[in-house]
Amino acid sequence: MSSFHFLLQFTIFLLLFHQKFSFPSKQTLLLPLRKTLGAHHRRPFPSSAVAVSANAATDKLAFHHNVTLTVSLSVGSPPQEVTMVLDTGSELSWLHCKKTPDLKSVFAPQLSKSYKPVPCVSPVCKTRTRDLPIPASCDPNNKLCHVAVSYADASSIEGNLAYENFVIGSATRPGFLFGCMDSGYSSNTDEDSKTTGLMGMNRGSLSFVSQMGFPKFSYCISGSDSSGVLLLGNARFSWLRELNYTPLIQRSDPLPYYDRVAYTVQLEGIKVGNKLLNLPKSVFLPDHTGAGQTMVDSGTQFTFLLGPVYTALRNEFLQQTKGVLRVYEDPNFVFQGAMDLCYRVTGSSHQSFSNLPRVSLMFRGAEMSVSGERLLYRVPEMSKGSNSVYCFTFGNSDLLGIEAFVIGHHHQQNVWMEFDLVKSRVGFAEISCDLARQKLGMGS
């Protein structure tokens, strides 16, 4: 959970589209929008690296984002409003269940008539938690099924597995399994105080999308004001160009550094401008431990590459931007602990961002291009007046201790992203997400 500190307003609608699956609502619902501030990176560590049904409606839910994607919904009987970080890189959905001075938003299970903790003796404690990075255990104090998650910045949270009613608009999903968390450590209590919990959206059996039975979901993040759209279910629009698809990689054998339920795709090469980096395809393949998979992760802001690939990209981008950008010469400054290519930018030179060479991520069967302002990120605490420090938005995952390539949501701005669980693929196409919101009747 590497904490990202910049203020970004993000409002997203959540839509549930009509399809052949059954879901207990057939109404069109619109809930109020909200804006919040806060930041998360939710990349769980694998257990070896730590010490410790779908819809039949057009429902709209509150969604907001601030470096993280967050959705508001109701949980329990009577319903309590909660705010959850949407994370395609996690499986277990969880809520803060113990009020502390640092937390502004918690779920109170004692006030809900439908809350039901899972006892240790229940088969669910073992069978449904098999894909979690940290195996479930038995809490000796209350004989309840104990779950825990640790993140890349050494943050962790733990509590008990439980059943509860989750309300999507006016539709209720009874018996939803989630973690009711009552203890843990965070490297940034300020950011955690702004959300009640986390909504896991990967391919594991406990994830939100799996428990709800959605065959696919899509989102589109604006690059201007960080508003956007999230859709759960099938969606086909005449104004949306044909998507390019890359298959999801499936592996059944357990490996210590491989996340089998992540949205794993195969990165095959990177271009800077028209120049293909001179790297063997083997550097993009996972090794015998599973280290080196490529994951699409909405819980991570930027994109992180393993050391040799990052170094090759950094050197080529540096070479192609000579004379266009002025390097920030401070060997001790590494943004976010993993991004060491930064530039000193004045107000006038900011206009040259449109002339920067685009970086193209080449996947099996598809290509994602990053250009213009998405290539550089302004560091607020390093900027004064017209003088600013901007850092390259690709980082070195080796420095974060993440044994993987991670495609963050910053590089998914103004890209329609579709996660197809039935056909096991990820599709994307460039589009103005502001235009998409207009087309969907969500305002300008």
Note the pLDDT tens digit of each residue in 162-172. Answer: 999 998 765 67
> Span 15-38, mean pLDDT?
33
| pLDDT for the residue 340 | 92
Confidence of residue 336 (pLDDT cuts 50, 70, 90): confident
| DSSP state at residue 245 | E
β-strand pairing of 342-345 with 326-327: antiparallel
Q: Which of 139, 259, 297, 340 is catalytic?
A: 297
Look at the domain 10-232 and name its fold: Cathepsin D, subunit A; domain 1 (2.40.70)
Burial of 110 (0-12, 13-18, 19+ CB in 10 A): exposed
Percent of the chain at pLDDT above 90?
47
Q: Which residue has the tokens 């896991």?
A: 200
| pLDDT for the residue 170 | 59
* Residue 157 · residue 133 · CB < 8 Å: no
- Residues 29-48 as b or e (16 or more Cβ within 10 Å = b): bebebeebebbbbbbbbbee
CA distances from 30 to 56, 152, 161, 249, 441 (A): 15, 36, 30, 36, 12
AA identity, residue 281: K
Q: Note if 434 is an active site residue.
A: no
* Residue 374 · residue 224 · CB < 8 Å: no
Angle at 361 between CA 300 and CA 230, to 5 degrees: 45
> Which helix (H) or strand (E) element contains residue 342?
strand 342-345
Q: Which of 59, 87, 153, 420 is catalytic?
A: 87
Portions of the chain given CATH number 2.40.70.10: 10-232, 244-439
Q: Note if 87 is an active site residue.
A: yes
In the CATH scheme, what is the code of domain 244-439?
2.40.70.10
Whether 180 has a pLDDT exceeding 80, the answer reads: yes
| pLDDT for the residue 354 | 84
Stated pTM of the model:
0.84
